């Protein structure tokens, strides 16, 4: 019984903490929102890329430190520089700014896909931030050439 | 008892998650409209016509059927697009090949027969003829040519048309960092010279617009 109460109160505390982190506006927490998310239908059976924008309306910068998804054994975050992509430990989400993952640039790379996403599917990811915690995002799977900046 | 408490915890956690995400605001519209404003003005033209065209590189490599492929001999007098990339590339390489493929499929059959689209790997160790063939079918079109060989030969060929590529490099964590060429190079059927460059920002529409001129060897 004791154990149960502890678990419950932990959960309640967690809920409170999360609610706080999510809602405090104008304080010193990052205020993150995700938009423009998509995954181009991949060519390979085991590898895909994902793109989105994280907007930060808060006065505090944050960092995207990792991404997880139930469709992939691993999701890496990559920067593209001089036609090379390289895994990075984190991406900055500047205060009152945004982190843009876009085609030809920084992106999420999904590895060890459990199932090949097809156009029309939706892929769910969890973005893990240093300060804001985890934020879920849904990536609609688009045609292989989808590139919102070009449309 | 145990089950019940697990459920209660899960419910609370879910509430917490919902509370958090509802405060995020407009994330429901993900995928449809990007919030980012594109501040850079789009260039008028995708194509860069070179004042001093490149001679076609003297490349003899292996195609996706494992056969010897002499680029100069096989593409002589034919409009040709050449791109250097690798298959373990989730973004730019398939995007480039797919954009070309969309434009290619819109061409009349007679033009499709003329146009040669050649993809040369920058990662020959991983891109075997078979792997290349499978990838090209998905990323581009079964009619496209995929070439592999030894890296120094590929690098030298790329350099002849102004495309710098470094060999794939193994990082400490075991991942391989490869690179793709910066441009697609179009060769004229009239002169066999590489006279037009396309950056990775070129869209399927751009290619659709330009291919008919390129097939005639005209400036797009």
The CATH number for B139's domain is 3.40.30.10
Domain contains B17: no
Which class for B98: exposed (0-12), middle (13-18), buried (19 or more C-beta within 10 A)? buried
- Chain-centre distance for alpha carbon B40: 22
Structural domain containing residue A121: 30-145
Structural domain total, chain B = 1
B contacts of A126 (beta carbons < 8 Å)? none
Classify residue A65: in a domain, yes or no.
yes
A16 inside domain: no
A residues 34-53 lying closer than 8 A (beta carbon) to B = 34-38, 40, 42-44, 47-49, 52-53
Average pLDDT over residues A48-64: 97
* pTM score of the predicted model: 0.78
CA distance A68 to A75: 6
B118-135 average pLDDT score:
96
**Domain presence at residue A43:** yes
Contact, A36 vs B35, CB < 8 A?
yes
Pick the closest to residue B190 from B217, B164, B170, B215 (CA basis): B217
Query: Does residue A84 belong to any structural domain of this protein?
Result: yes
Q: Which of residues 56-75 of A touch B (CB under 8 A)?
A: none
Give the structural domain span for B130. Answer: 47-216
**How far does the CA of residue A135 sit from the closest CA of chain B (Å)?**
7
Q: Residue B53 falls within a domain, yes or no?
A: yes
Within-domain flag for A63: yes
Dump pLDDT digits (tens) for A23-54.
444 457 899 999 999 999 999 888 999 999 99
pLDDT tens track for A110-131: 999 999 999 999 999 999 999 9
In a domain, B93, yes or no: yes
Check if the beta carbon of residue B114 is closer than 8 Å to that of residue B153.
no
Crossing angle (nearest 10°) for helices B204-216 and B92-105: 60
CATH number of the CATH domain containing A138: 2.60.40.1890
Domains: count for chain A? 1
If you average pLDDT over every residue of chain A, what do you get? 86
Confidence category of residue B177, pLDDT binned at 50, 70, 90: confident
* β-strands B68-70, B183-187 pairing: unpaired
* pLDDT one-digit tens code per residue, B141-163: 999 999 999 999 999 999 999 99
DSSP notation for B113-158: HH-EEEEEES-TTT--HHHHHHHHHHHS-TTSEEEB--HHHHHHHH
In-domain check, residue B61: yes
Q: Is residue A98 part of a domain?
A: yes
Residue to substitute from A40, A43, A46, interface B, most B β-carbons within 10 A: A43
């Amino acid at each position: 019984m004791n154990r149960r109460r502890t678990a419950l109160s932990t959960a309640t505390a967690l809920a409170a903490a999360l609610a706080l982190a999510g809602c405090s506006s104008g304080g010193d927490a990052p205020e993150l929102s995700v938009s423009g998310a998509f995954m181009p239908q991949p060519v390979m059976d085991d590898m895909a890329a994902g793109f989105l924008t994280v907007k930060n309306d808060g006065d505090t910068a944050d960092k995207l430190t990792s991404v997880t998804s139930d469709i992939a054994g691993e999701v890496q975050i990559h920067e593209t520089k001089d036609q090379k992509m390289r895994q990075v430990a984190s991406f900055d989400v500047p205060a009152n700014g945004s982190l843009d993952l876009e085609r030809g640039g920084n992106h999420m790379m999904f590895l060890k896909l459990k199932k090949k996403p097809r156009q029309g599917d939706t892929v769910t990811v969890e973005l893990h931030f240093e300060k804001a915690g985890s934020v879920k995002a849904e990536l609609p799977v688009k045609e292989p050439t989808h590139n919102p900046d070009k449309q | 008892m145990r089950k019940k408490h697990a459920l209660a915890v899960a419910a609370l956690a879910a509430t917490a998650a919902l509370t958090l995400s509802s405060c995020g605001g407009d994330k429901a519209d993900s995928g449809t409209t990007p919030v980012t404003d594109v501040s850079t003005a789009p260039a008028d033209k995708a194509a860069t016509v070179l004042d001093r065209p490149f001679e076609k590189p003297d490349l003899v490599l292996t195609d996706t059927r494992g056969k010897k492929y002499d680029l100069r001999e096989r593409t002589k007098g034919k409009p040709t697009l050449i791109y250097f990339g690798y298959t373990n590339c989730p973004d730019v390489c398939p995007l480039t090949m797919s954009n070309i493929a969309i434009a290619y499929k819109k061409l009349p059959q007679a033009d499709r027969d003329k146009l040669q689209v050649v993809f040369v790997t920058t990662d020959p160790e991983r891109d075997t003829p078979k792997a290349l063939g499978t990838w090209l079918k998905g990323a581009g079109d079964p009619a496209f040519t995929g070439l592999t060989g030894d890296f120094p030969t590929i690098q030298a060929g790329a350099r002849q048309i102004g495309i710098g590529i470094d060999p794939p490099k193994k990082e400490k964590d075991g991942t391989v960092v490869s690179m793709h060429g910066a441009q697609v190079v179009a060769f004229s059927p009239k002169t066999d010279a590489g006279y037009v460059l396309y950056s990775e920002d070129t869209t399927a529409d751009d290619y659709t617009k330009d291919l008919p001129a390129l097939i005639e060897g005209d400036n797009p």
